[in-house]
Amino acid sequence: MTNKRIIPIGSLVIGLGFALVLLITHLLVRPPAPPAELEGVLRKNFRPIGGFELQTHDRGPINQSSLRGKWSLVFFGYMSCPDVCPNTLHELSQFHSLLLDAGEEETQDLQVLFVSVDPDRDSTEALARYVRHFDRRFIGATAGKGAIDRLTRQFDADYVIEAETYPGVYPVAHTSAIFLVDPLGRLVASFSQPHYAATLLSQYEKITAYFEGRS
């Protein structure tokens, strides 16, 4: 006689309920397929940003906890950058103004972080003055090379400090993308060059609507 394993109905119901909770949680954390216009902007996998610490002049340390609870636009560069950095920060300032025009409350859930990959020349005090030139709400931060390297690897953001052309004068090749971190502290999107404020606004609004289930 063959013994058949009988699964209690109660256990089956509990198992199905647990699976349903997992499915709902997955859908809340990772919504359904995004709209086609976000292809190439949204990451296929949403990567949590791990431990790091940066220093600012007047805002205290910036770490992974600082990226939670609001959207964060993160850009890596350096103050002596002749074109890409000032142009990008200008467009981010214009983007911020467009958000204000749409409704001031929308900017409360967003922060812009400029991370210098040239800490030997860019002090936190100088960075604070630099970013305020573009927008008083922007945050300028940096750290030692080891800390910068650990952070840029998490973003897949490359940079190379090139040879000096004169004593203390050298260019820094760096990733020009703007990165978007969601309120859960996950890297969810990146915006490639060229950057235009109106395009950034359109994509940002589509992304936030997508995550909030409004798309």
Question: Average pLDDT by consecutive 10-residue portion of the chain (215 residues)?
Answer: 51 50 47 73 92 95 96 98 97 93 72 97 97 96 97 96 91 97 97 96 93 72
Contacts 24+ apart (CB under 8 A), 48-54: 48/184, 48/185, 48/186, 48/187, 49/154, 49/155, 49/181, 49/185, 49/186, 49/187, 50/154, 52/143, 52/147, 52/150, 52/151, 52/154, 53/143, 53/147, 54/115, 54/141, 54/142, 54/143, 54/147, 54/151
In the prediction, which pLDDT does 178 show? 98
Q: Where are the domains of the chain?
A: 35-211
Q: Quote the pLDDT of residue 8.
A: 58
Instruction: Supply the pLDDT for residue 90.
Output: 98
Say what the pLDDT of residue 7 is: 47
Domain 35-211 has what CATH class? alpha beta
Verdict on whether the full-model pTM lies above 0.85: no
